[in-house]
Chain A
Amino acid sequence: MTITLNGEQVPLEGALMLADLISQRYGEPRGVAVAVDEAVVPRGSWLSYALVPGQRVEVVTAVQGG
């Protein structure tokens, strides 16, 4: 029972909301966006988004480039 977070396998113990995963891992990040299985999940929906085993979560931010 795992999900993939930015390419890393993360165990999923019981029900976990996306908002909890983000705050456990990143605190209260600004300027980030999240995609689950290649679909953007708006910040306003993190609290009500229940993660399911096998999902691929990407958390991104702006870096120097271009």
Chain B
Amino acid sequence: MIAGRTLSSRLLLGTGGLPSLALLPQVLAAAAPGMVTVSVRRTSSQAEGGLLDLLSAAGVPILPNTAGCTSAREAVLTAELAREALQTEWVKLEVIGDETSLLPDAIELLEAAEQLVRRGFVVLPYATDDPVLARRLEDVGCAAVMPLGSPIGSGLGLLNPHAIEAVVAAVSVPVVLDAGVGTASDAVLAMERGCSAVLAATAITRADDPVAMAAALRLGVEAGTLARSAGRIPRRVIARASSPMAGLIGAEAS
């Protein structure tokens, strides 16, 4: 549940990097994502819209992003264009501060988030795994926060699971693990650490078999969600037998 809207799945799918748009329907079927992100770019020719047709046929809600923007000004305009083009107030807000690391620019991000909330957007900001920034984003009215597990496209997973837990503890809005997921176990871990959802793009779209990985991540998110609610055992530094000692053969009768 984000901004009063119940999503059908805790896996969100990014569409960037698929070798062919023709694969998208199968990936969508295997991932069954709650939302799908798209980017906003200059239109190049007539009769584009194949992507939107596929997404609308699949009935999956669209979450436009501001990928590639490097300032609050650019991100706000891109979000405004996305709202006009796609008729949705929802936006995954990305404001990149460094072309090499693709890490968010926290200052521009917060500024853009504040402006967009004021203009009626449902803002889901891509952020660092910083609980202080997460709280500031919540304070300006963001509907969720999306900390990175590791840099975009790196597949390094959750480099700092404790920081992700700290973000979860710091805010009351949903936390969506964004960026860095490489395989299903990363999605499991994110959910076990308390995230409400996982957004994955490259992990699926650049896998050798995107359809199989889409299914794996869906199951990973489900497994992690179940494990989180089941309550894991405390970690112990010494062994604890799971079989009873009573009735062991050769022992004195009691």
Interface size on A, residues (CB 8 A): 24
| Contact yes or no, B77 A35, CB < 8 A | yes
| Contact yes or no, B77 A66, CB < 8 A | no
Complex: A42 Cα to B87 Cα, angstroms: 11
| Most chain B beta-carbon neighbours within 10 Å: one of A40, A63, A65 | A65
| Contact yes or no, A26 B43, CB < 8 A | yes
Complex: A26 Cα to B44 Cα, angstroms: 9
What string of 1s and 0s marks CB contacts (under 8 Å) between A17-42 and chain B? 00000000011011111110010101
| Contact yes or no, B85 A61, CB < 8 A | yes
| Contact yes or no, A64 B46, CB < 8 A | no
Q: Confirm or deny: A1 has a beta carbon within 8 angstroms of a beta carbon on chain B.
A: no
Interface size on B, residues (CB 8 A): 38
**Cβ-closest chain B residue relative to A65:** B39
| Contact yes or no, A66 B16, CB < 8 A | yes
Q: Confirm or deny: B49 has a beta carbon within 8 angstroms of a beta carbon on chain A.
A: yes
Q: Confirm or deny: A15 has a beta carbon within 8 angstroms of a beta carbon on chain B.
A: no
| Contact yes or no, A29 B39, CB < 8 A | no
Q: Confirm or deny: A60 has a beta carbon within 8 angstroms of a beta carbon on chain B.
A: yes
| Contact yes or no, B39 A33, CB < 8 A | no
Complex: A42 Cα to B65 Cα, angstroms: 19
Complex: A33 Cα to B81 Cα, angstroms: 5
Interface residues of A (CB under 8 A from B): 6-7, 26-27, 29-35, 38, 40, 42-43, 58-66
Apart from A27-B47, A66-B16: 10 A-B pairs, beta carbons within 8 A: A29-B48, A33-B80, A40-B80, A58-B81, A60-B40, A62-B38, A63-B40, A64-B51, A66-B15, A66-B65
